[in-house]
């Protein structure tokens, strides 16, 4: 609407309280798309079962944004500097959409262009694993942000801000340095951050985060 689009009917999503809950579903936690960042930050369930995810999510925005902004809005806004897609992508979350054709589930690492048309994001399912760990570095935003998930010898890296959509790499920890660098598309090159600098920082931050997780430091 800010861009001049018109709409005959507006639906206020906040009138759907059933989409706000954070529920334990056993091997995953279902976060309603209308849960606010604050709901995530203060959820006792997430503190118990997905503490690293909760800690990382708490770094989003400032307290005013976290009190009102929703998890679903963060994802659906499709802004390359937003942290939600990167964090949820590396931990293997799934996005649940309600569409004209029924319910559709997509990996959170899917590109925004692959989201279904005319769809309401209803929930995000986050797997719970005793062995999976997560660490996140947003200190160089908006030039680059990196999240790393580690489960056994398998590492998943999510890169935000550096491209028009988040980039993900999944592979064996011992291969990460070379394989990530080879797979990384050319980053954005602009006065805020050159492509070579962004590329180098993806390598530096991902290595640091993996080291941190291997040492057992919290995110």
Q: What does the binding site for ligand FAD look like in residue numbers (CB under 6 A)?
A: 13, 33, 60-61, 65, 69-70, 72-74, 76-77, 82-84, 120-121
CB of 61 or CB of 203, closer to ligand FAD: 61
- Residues 95 and 114: their CA atoms lie apart, in Å, by 12
Residue 186 DSSP label: P
- Residues 158 and 172: their CA atoms lie apart, in Å, by 15
Contact 85, 56 (CB under 8 A): no
CB of 69 or CB of 92, closer to ligand FAD: 69
CB of 144 or CB of 176, closer to ligand FAD: 144
CB of 121 or CB of 176, closer to ligand FAD: 121
3-class DSSP assignment, residue 193: strand
CB of 73 or CB of 127, closer to ligand FAD: 73
CB of 178 to ligand FAD, least distance (A): 30
CB of 41 or CB of 176, closer to ligand FAD: 41
Q: Which residue is it, tokens 């592979």?
A: 171
CB of 62 to ligand FAD, least distance (A): 6
CB of 76 to ligand FAD, least distance (A): 3
CB of 8 to ligand FAD, least distance (A): 15
- Residues 176 and 182: their CA atoms lie apart, in Å, by 10
3-class DSSP assignment, residue 133: strand
CB of 79 to ligand FAD, least distance (A): 7
Output the CA torsion sign for 104, 109, 111, 112.
positive
Neighbouring CB atoms inside 10 A of 5's CB total 6
Residue nearest to ligand FAD (CB): 73
CB of 66 to ligand FAD, least distance (A): 8
3-class DSSP assignment, residue 94: strand
């Amino acid at each position: 609407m800010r861009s001049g689009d018109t709409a005959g009917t507006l639906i206020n999503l906040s009138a759907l309280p059933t989409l706000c809950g954070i529920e334990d579903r056993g091997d995953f936690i279902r976060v309603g798309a209308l849960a606010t960042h604050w709901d995530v930050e203060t959820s006792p369930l997430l503190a118990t079962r997905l503490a690293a995810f909760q800690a990382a999510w708490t770094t989003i925005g400032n307290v005013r944004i976290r009190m009102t902004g929703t998890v679903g809005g963060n994802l659906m806004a499709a802004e390359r500097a937003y942290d939600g897609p990167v964090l949820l992508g590396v931990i293997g979350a799934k996005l649940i959409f309600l569409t004209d054709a029924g319910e559709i589930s997509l990996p959170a690492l899917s590109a925004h262009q692959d989201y279904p048309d005319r769809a309401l994001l209803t929930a995000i399912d986050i797997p719970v694993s005793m062995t999976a760990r997560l660490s996140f570095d947003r200190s160089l935003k908006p030039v680059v942000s990196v999240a790393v998930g580690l489960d056994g010898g398998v590492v998943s890296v999510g890169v935000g801000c550096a491209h028009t959509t988040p980039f993900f790499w999944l592979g064996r920890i011992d291969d990460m340095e070379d394989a990530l660098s080879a797979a990384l598309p050319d980053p954005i090159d602009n006065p805020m951050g050159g492509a070579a600098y962004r590329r180098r920082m993806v390598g530096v931050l991902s290595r640091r985060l993996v080291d941190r997780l291997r040492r057992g430091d919290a995110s």
